[in-house]
Chains A and B, each alone.
Chain A
Amino acid sequence: MTVTSELNAPAGADKTAFAGLRRLFFQNESLRGLVLLTPTLVILSITVIVPFLLMGAMSLWTQIGFDYTDDWSFRNYGIILTEPLYTTLLLRSLGMSMAATLVTVMLAYPMAYFLAFHVQKNKLIWLIIITLPFWTSYLLRVFAWRVVLGYEGVINTGLMEIGLISEPLSFLLYSKSAVIITLAHAWAAFALLPIYVSLEKIDKSVLEASADLGEGPVMRFLRVILPLSMPGVIAGTFLMFIPTVGDYVTAALVGGPDSRMIGNLIELQFGTVDNWPMGAALAITMIISITMVGLLFMVLSRLLKRWVAA
């Protein structure tokens, strides 16, 4: 009997300590929040924050031959800002991304609108169809556009078949427009889904109220639907714009010499050119530029929303 009770004693003590922790966990809201956030925070700091800081540090080094000097300087940034090649590529990337984002948002909005307001049944099936391209690999989708846009591709042979053109159009593939079309298609769902969600959330009686208060369909859209779906449009724009600026696979596969993007250059710095500090500086510059464009976009959309609704 004594043996058993001795064995049981520490187990009982453990149990109460555990119960105490348990109580603390369920009573303290901020502790609970921290505990729940911990896995994310750990993963984020290991995979994002630390590499980001390392890259920031590396961008301040200088490559000499096969070695780095680790004296800190902004030399790389100076080169990026003065050398026309870098600024051209950066501005071109931002411009092409903006174009692709604009095209996608403009095309996605009507689709999302249709889904939110006119599809009554089987919305899930429509959503699956729209996200279907995401079930295949990104590379596969880019290659598919080569087949469509190529010199002997679907469009060229089709147009020649019906006699609209006599020889293949060469500007279709390996051009800026090819990159923009491919990006727009590849990222469509990222723009569409947030817009759909924000449209779906709009209370239908608010639309009836605006009709009741004397507004026809166009003004109803501009004064009520558009401002209320703006959060979705902004989210969709960012979700598409941010990753496409740095995209390099698309430009490498369907782009021509005039459509190389900043991502291609960064890839070169880390690869063939083997100038990691310069690559890091370019990446940081790109991140800062995206942030600035994003902030500008947010300010503009807020102003636009206020102006349209009042």
Chain B
Amino acid sequence: MTQDETMISVRNIGKRFGSVVAVEDACFDIRRGEFFSLLGASGSGKTTVLRIMAGFEAATSGAIFIDGRQMDAVPPHQRPVNMVFQNYAIFPHLNVADNIGFGLRKLKLDPVERRRRIDEMLELIKLPGFGDRLADQLSGGQRQRVALARALVLQPKVLLLDEPLGALDKQLREQMQVELRALQRSIGVTFVLVTHDQEEALTLSDRIAVMADGRVLQVDTPAGLYERPCSRQVAGFVGNMNFLPARVVSQDGGSARIDVPGLQTTCSISAERLARFGSDISLAIRPERMTLHRERPADQANSVSGVLHDRMYLGERTQFQVALDDRGTTIAVSSSTTVAERLGSIDPGAQVWLSWSEEALIPLGND
């Protein structure tokens, strides 16, 4: 990545609150015009990283660069970033127009130009004519839009969003996700989103940094995180995942044989994917990468029999819980409901077979 493509550079950022380590050695780059998400459970340090970017917290160690300029000594009001706060932080004493126009004072615009920019923003957030309303006359979704407009009117290099959709109900949240994505595409500003909702992060982002316990676990595209998680923690956090204990039995040049007792099979995996782990590993497989059969499939190598435990109808998908023959390991299998219907009704307790392709098996360390 060249310097020109990087908008934010987080270099070994650490943050302690007393004896509590909030962020430890965070290190990643955010590209210009990218929709970047910090994903993690509460207490993972994601909000702290965002607040360090905004300048509300000072990093205990490390440095942060925005558009090539070191930011550590720059106070929040002089940084080229703007933020959408979790509770929106709309000024209660000002109407919508003055909220949006709050940051324009420094530009010393004439009233006509100021008005024009505010109206332009009201148009953009689809609230034209709302200029005279007070904050307490707005719904949650409308406040969220005003907070967005207030930050975007200043044409920041980076827009920071702290769980902006967390307080909205599901319907509105999904609608705002679409709008947020379209908005980011059309204006091309770099967005940094903090969220605990992995679905939201996958839907919106170009790239995601997964955080847990103050550490950045993996930075990748949504597909990359989903298909090639680098650890059990990431794999478990993003989407659903089955984990099975496995053992490396032999290694031969480029590929290694792995014994998976749960699946009563051995498989080969390229050795470089195993490089970091020992001989005891985990194999992960997504529920939708497994296929459920009523009869024994033809390819016997990559199949295993089990007993259907439970069947859950989830709308467009149907999920099966299958107890494998050994030691009661239970595997989740998910298929689209149309495919599941073709199987006909299978009662719990019936014998079924599972099959998979070898590429679907993800070797992971046992951490």
Contacts and interface: CB of A to CB of B under 8 A. Distances in A.
Whether chain B is bound by chain A comes out as yes
Contact of A309 (B56, B85, B93): B93
A227 B99 CA distance: 14
A193 to B, nearest CB: 21
A214 B89 contact: no
Contacts of A310: 94, 98
A215 B77 contact: yes
B297 interface: no
A208 B76 contact: yes
A213 B94 CA distance: 15
A128 B82 CA distance: 41
Contacts of B18: none
B233 interface: no
Nearest to B82: A212
A228 B89 CA distance: 13
Contacts of A216: 75, 77
B260 interface: no
Contact of B91 (A214, A219, A224): A224
Interface residues of B, number: 27
Contact of B103 (A214, A224, A228, A305): A214
Contacts of A208: 54, 56, 76, 83, 85, 89
B106 A203 contact: no
Interface in B80-94: 81-83, 85-87, 89-94
Interface residues of A, number: 20
Contact of B150 (A203, A213, A223, A227): A213
B256 interface: no
Contact of A305 (B92, B93, B105): B93
A293 interface: no
A81 interface: no
Given A212-B54, A214-B77, A205 B89 contact: yes
B65 interface: no
B77 A212 contact: yes
A296 interface: no
B89 A203 contact: yes
Nearest to A226: B93
Contacts of B130: none
B154 interface: yes
B104 to A, nearest CB: 9
A211 B150 CA distance: 13
A224 B86 CA distance: 19
Contacts of A203: 87, 89, 92
A210 B102 contact: yes
Interface centre among A209, A215, A228 (most CB of B within 10 A): A209
Contacts of B55: 211
B103 A213 contact: yes
A264 B98 CA distance: 49
A308 to B, nearest CB: 10
Given A203-B87, A205-B85, A214 B154 contact: yes
A205 B103 contact: no
Contact of B76 (A206, A212, A305): A212
A213 B82 contact: yes
Contacts of A210: 91, 102
B82 A228 contact: no
B322 to A, nearest CB: 48
A212 B105 CA distance: 13
Nearest to A228: B93
A152 B93 CA distance: 52
Contacts of A213: 77, 82, 102-103, 150-151, 154
Contacts of A211: 55-56, 75-77
Given A205-B86, A208-B56, 4 more contacts: A209-B83, A215-B103, A228-B93, A309-B98
Interface of B: 54-56, 75-78, 81-83, 85-87, 89-94, 98, 102-103, 105-106, 150-151, 154
- 7 closest cross-chain pairs (CB), A and B: A213-B103, A209-B89, A205-B89, A211-B76, A212-B83, A211-B77, A227-B93
21 contacts: A205-B86, A205-B87, A206-B89, A206-B92, A208-B56, A209-B83, A209-B85, A210-B102, A211-B56, A211-B75, A212-B81, A212-B151, A213-B154, A215-B102, A215-B105, A216-B75, A216-B77, A219-B105, A223-B105, A309-B91, A309-B94
